[in-house]
């Protein structure tokens, strides 16, 4: 699966996905071969080599790639949907320019392979919301979604034009217990567990029947490793793959939490994130990922809620 001279750089390693990806990649490649980087040190990160890196600094990125002999880059740094709407021009700059820096490294043959995540945010209010197909109407209405859709187009273009081996997944909302989420519309489905255990109450910023596609972090990390380790000929989509785990609404997750914490109380106070959520799919057709590289999720709602509560109880 991994060659002995493979060296991994994770950009944005201190975030919700990066912490868990760093751990999992270290198991495969060895900690000393997985370089974590971010704007600042994260207390959640394991004990890997760490570099302070601003993904917008192309020269600093190049120096780190050369210094460590990096072969593979997992580029996770981005502003997500909610924070992106509050700082749209910076979201566009960060999400696009940093991607170009990484794509250019591969185009110029300094690195061999790139992972860059896209999102269900590439879809918009005119997209069919149930079992959203891989290929469909895409008119994203957030700057985040626009940047991810443009990023997908650029990834495919770099692949076709220069043979850049870039692979990507349109993650749904991700739910994990090892680190905090960073400004997404789906984050309520993480915060709810902390509050359920701490106070027994939670005020959701999405309305009770807002169904969205979600996924347990363990499944998302496994999917990421599976797509990256699949033989190149199996990766038939070089923009980004639809990926599905499960779908639920705030009411449904609250009901499932109540099976463990019977007095848990949920209230609803939708804010600006409601409009974003309303523009996204409710469920995803991921048959291309299943056929091309064998994707299959493990977690349903029952297993996800149990895993989150069990793990957070031992963490706190
Ligand atoms: P996050 O906000 O938790 O983490 C992002 C990390 O990037 C943070 O540690 C942040 O410090 C870092 N960062 C920000 N600006 C940077 C810069 N200029 N240089 C270097 N690092 C910088 O986000 P996440 O949830 O881990 O998401 C990672 C990627 O996955 C993003 O591209 C996001 O769009 C995508 N994604 C996430 C989800 C989800 O539900 N978490 C869903 C779909 C797609
Ligand atoms: N979970 C992400 C968000 O809400 C989707 O990309 O922004």
**282 Cα to the center of ligand 1, angstroms:** 22
State the average pLDDT for the chain.
97
Tokens 């709602």 correspond to: 301
Pocket test for ligand 2, best of 83, 121, 205, 279 (most atoms within 8 A of CB): 121
155 part of a folded domain: yes
pLDDT band at 2 (very low <50, low <70, confident <90, very high): low
pLDDT band at 316 (very low <50, low <70, confident <90, very high): low
Q: Which two tokens stand for residue 25?
A: 């990649």
164 part of a folded domain: yes
**Active-site residue flag, 144:** yes
Domain match, 259 and 191 both: yes
**79 Cα to the center of ligand 1, angstroms:** 6
For residue 174, the ligand 2 atom closest to its alpha carbon is 1
Q: Which two tokens stand for residue 179?
A: 């680190």
3 part of a folded domain: no
Residue 74 in contact with residue 115, Cβ under 8 Å?
yes
How much is the pLDDT for 155? 99
Global pTM reads 0.97
Ligand 1 pocket residue status of 18, Cβ below 6 Å: yes
138 part of a folded domain: yes
Is the pLDDT at 200 greater than 70? The verdict is yes
> What is the rounded (10 degree) CA torsion for 202, 284, 10, 92?
-80
How much is the pLDDT for 99? 98
2 part of a folded domain: no
**78 Cα to the center of ligand 1, angstroms:** 5
Kindly state the helix (H) or strand (E) to which residue 284 belongs, with its residue range.
none
Pocket test for ligand 2, best of 15, 88, 91, 120 (most atoms within 8 A of CB): 120
Q: Which two tokens stand for residue 1?
A: 């699966």
**35 Cα to the center of ligand 1, angstroms:** 16
| Residue with CA at minimum distance from ligand 2 atom 6 | 119
Is the pLDDT at 180 greater than 90? The verdict is no
109 part of a folded domain: yes
Residues belonging to the chain: 316
Domain match, 44 and 181 both: no
Sign of the dihedral through C-alpha 136, 215, 102, 53: positive
Q: What percent of the chain has pLDDT over 90?
A: 95
* Coil, strand or helix at 120: helix
Domain match, 231 and 250 both: no
Residues in Cβ contact with 13 at an 8 Å cutoff, skipping those fewer than 6 apart: 19, 21, 22, 36, 37, 38, 42, 45, 48, 50, 76
Residue 83 in contact with residue 192, Cβ under 8 Å?
no
Q: Which two tokens stand for residue 38?
A: 């971010």
Pairing of strands 165-167, 34-38: unpaired
Domain limits at 186?
A: 174-214+245-315
| Phi, psi at 2, each rounded to 5° | -120, 140
Measure Cα distances from 200 to 33, 192, 196, 197, 265 in Å: 42, 9, 4, 6, 6
Number of domains in the chain: 2
Find the catalytic residue in 74, 115, 144, 202: 144
CATH at 223:
3.40.50.720
| Phi, psi at 99, each rounded to 5° | -65, -45
Q: Which long-range contacts (CB under 8 A, 24 or more apart) does 152-161 make?
A: 152/118, 152/122, 152/239, 152/240, 153/239, 154/99, 154/100, 154/103, 155/99, 155/103, 155/114, 155/116, 155/238, 155/239, 155/240, 156/238, 156/239, 158/103, 158/106, 158/107, 159/238, 160/238
How much is the pLDDT for 182? 83
State mean pLDDT over 92-106.
98
Domain match, 180 and 306 both: yes
How much is the pLDDT for 315? 79
Domain match, 150 and 238 both: yes
Domain match, 228 and 134 both: yes
Q: How far apart are CA 75 and CA 104, in angstroms?
A: 13
State mean pLDDT over 141-161.
98
CATH at 284:
3.90.25.10
**220 Cα to the center of ligand 2, angstroms:** 13
Residue 19 in contact with residue 45, Cβ under 8 Å?
yes
Residue 270 in contact with residue 167, Cβ under 8 Å?
no
Is the pLDDT at 12 greater than 80? The verdict is yes
Ligand 2 pocket residue status of 121, Cβ below 6 Å: yes
How much is the pLDDT for 179? 85
């Amino acid at each position: 699966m991994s060659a002995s001279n493979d060296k991994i750089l994770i950009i944005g390693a201190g975030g919700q996905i990066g912490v868990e990806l760093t751990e999992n990649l270290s198991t495969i490649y060895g900690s000393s071969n997985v370089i974590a980087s971010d704007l600042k040190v994260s207390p959640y990160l394991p004990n890997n080599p760490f570099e302070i890196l601003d993904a917008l600094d192309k020269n600093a990125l190049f120096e780190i790639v050369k210094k460590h002999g990096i072969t593979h880059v997992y580029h996770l740094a981005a502003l997500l949907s909610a924070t992106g709407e509050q700082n749209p021009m910076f979201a566009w700059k960060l999400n696009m320019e940093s991607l170009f820096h990484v794509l250019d490294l591969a185009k110029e043959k300094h690195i061999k392979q790139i992972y860059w995540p896209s999102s269900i945010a590439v879809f918009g209010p005119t997209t069919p919301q149930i079992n959203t197909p891989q290929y469909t109407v895409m008119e994203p209405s957030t700057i985040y979604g626009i940047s991810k859709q443009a990023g997908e187009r650029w990834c495919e273009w770099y692949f076709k034009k220069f043979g850049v081996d870039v692979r990507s997944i349109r993650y749904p909302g991700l739910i994990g217990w090892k680190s905090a989420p960073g400004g997404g519309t789906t984050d309520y489905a993480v915060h709810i567990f902390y509050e359920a255990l701490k106070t027994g109450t939670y005020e959701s910023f999405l309305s009770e029947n807002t169904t969205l596609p979600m996924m347990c972090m363990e499944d998302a990390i496994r999917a990421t490793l599976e797509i990256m380790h699949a033989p190149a000929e199996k990766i038939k989509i070089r923009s980004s793959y639809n990926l599905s785990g499960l779908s639920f609404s705030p009411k449904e997750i609250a009901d499932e939490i109540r099976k463990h914490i019977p007095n848990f109380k949920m209230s609803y106070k939708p804010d600006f994130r409601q409009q974003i959520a309303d523009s996204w799919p409710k469920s995803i057709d991921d048959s291309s990922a299943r056929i091309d590289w064998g994707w299959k999720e493990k977690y349903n709602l029952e297993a996800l809620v149990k895993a989150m509560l069990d793990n957070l109880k031992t963490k706190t």
